[in-house]
A and B are shown apart, each in its own frame.
Chain A
Amino acid sequence: MEPILTINNLTKKFGYLTAVKDLSFTINKGNVYGILGPNGSGKSTTLGIVLNVVNKTEGNFHWFDGNTSTHDALKKVGAIIERPNFYPYMTAEQNLKLVCRIKGVSHSKINEKLEVVGLLDRKDHKFRTYSLGMKQRLAIASALLNDPEILILDEPTNGLDPQGIHQIRKIIKDIASTGTTILLASHLLDEVEKVCTHVVVLRKGEKLYSGRVDEMISSHGFFELKAEKHNELKTLLENHPSFGNIKVEDQLITAFLNEPMDATTFNTLMFEKGIVLSHLVKRKESLEEQFLQLTDNTET
């Protein structure tokens, strides 16, 4: 696979605070990546470093095959970070012309990209008259101007109303379906779950997980159980080799599977042991639960 971005042992310190700690991962062409992490986990800092606006403290990164300088590589990248930043006194079209000039591409794509984000009819309006949703969509149009090899989006739906969020997500999905590599930083898990194939999970600047989304979720699932013979059930589960972690909340027992087992098999087993279940649900962790587990477990 063709690497687009390689990060090796990247570290960033702001004074005493270590925002990014010894981070390594690779972005390959054609996948949709998510960077997940709670606020302040170093997502934006990491993106800032690879986008040439934040200086790294240690480590290194390179774009593509490593033979292009960062600012030249960025001409083949489309990126929007946090808030859309444009010149308020220029119209949408003038702003995009400026971006074309920086990236060294022709002006011919401006209308096409404005069409993609649905702003073509507002192109002659000044940027300062735009709503936040429109600003964000203009930012996406601007990031697409050079038909980038990779599109980097940092919290693209932050601060938008539900319609705005919906619009942006639809645009992202459309872009992803064209085969563009996307790197999406977010703390909104369903956003990542819906769009991304790969995910990097960060917490306090450290990488907790990196790999495919389905593998991250691919534990064998868990049973939620209730029974009259609560204690017997609990002992049985604790001694059964198929179960790992057992959690008890009120009368509800959550038993995590170490190996695959379907609900029928389990129910039969219980019946043989003489335990009648009053509640049996088999579930898989959502990305959210998985994420919370990952980010909580290492709290101490």
Chain B
Amino acid sequence: MLRLLQLELQKLLLNRASKVLIFISFILPFFIILLSSIRFNVFNYFTLEVGHYGVFNFPIVWHIMTFFASYFKLFFAIVVVSMIGNEYSNKTIKQNLIDGLSKKEFILSKFYTIIFFSALSTLLIFIICIITGLFYSSIDEAHLIFRETEFLLAYFIKLVGFFSLCLFLGVLVKRSAFALAFLFVLFLLEWIIYGVLAYNIDESTATKIQNFFPLKSIYKLIDQPFQRIAISKAPNGQDFLYDFGVHWYEFAIVIAWTALFIFLSYRLLKKRDL
């Protein structure tokens, strides 16, 4: 396993484009978060302090951070599709196999890399959350601090699921740009199907069905936190109108998709003549 991971890391880290994209997708968001947690002084007219809205308090900090940081996954998605696209355009996939890598190992090396970077990102966001959370909230009891850390797990699963989808699309179309276009098409397709369903049946059934679709299910793991902030500011904030928790079945759906994507990538590669 370590050998496969090392292989892929060498391929990625010696490539300047991937290095930059990895930096943007994993390191940059944390700088942004750190910066935003500092009090902004906008041209001396007014001060903007994001922390003021209570977004950095425990436990909501886990939710907010993972939600925003996960948008940067799009940059690493480019790395994932090009990880496959480059192997095809350089024909190095052929050479790798001839040198004695099996097709299974080839897919696994990509998958381990996905897990590695997802775990790294989760670890980083954990550290940032702890720092900003401790700085802004008055809570210092461990069980309160670590309440709702399931968002971290959701974040991890979300990344792995999304990148596995990208991996599959990369293997499917062999070219990075087309794979990304495909991702966008899939996004549109999910909403078109939703629209058709909502029009023909009703909205809530359509939403329920849409929640099983790959992109939507990945998104659903960490729901958008705006209502939550609004609710927490409202006087009777305890009444949750909106279900933004992390549920076991949401995990199950995404894990199932992940397994399917990896399996299909392998099957596709196995059937293919290179």
Contacts and interface: CB of A to CB of B under 8 A. Distances in A.
B125 to A, nearest CB: 30
A86 B92 contact: yes
Interface string A269-283: 000000000000000
A95 B172 CA distance: 26
A162 interface: no
Contact of B14 (A74, A79, A89, A142): A89
A89 B16 contact: yes
A75 B273 CA distance: 20
Nearest to B105: A71
A101 B94 contact: no
Contacts of A86: 90, 92, 95
B235 to A, nearest CB: 59
Dominant secondary structure at the B interface: helix
Nearest to A72: B100
Interface residues of A, number: 33
Given A85-B92, A86-B90, A101-B3, A52 B10 contact: no
B101 interface: yes
A97 B10 contact: yes
Nearest to A70: B102
Contact of A103 (B94, B100, B270): B100
B6 interface: yes
A89 B18 CA distance: 11
B7 A101 contact: yes
Given A74-B99, A85-B94, A86-B90, A98 B3 contact: no
The 5 closest A-B pairs by CB, nearest first: A75-B100, A71-B102, A74-B100, A85-B91, A85-B95
25 contacts: A14-B273, A48-B273, A51-B98, A53-B94, A55-B270, A55-B272, A55-B273, A69-B102, A71-B97, A71-B100, A71-B102, A74-B97, A75-B100, A83-B91, A85-B90, A85-B91, A87-B86, A89-B15, A90-B14, A98-B11, A102-B96, A102-B100, A102-B101, A104-B3, A104-B100
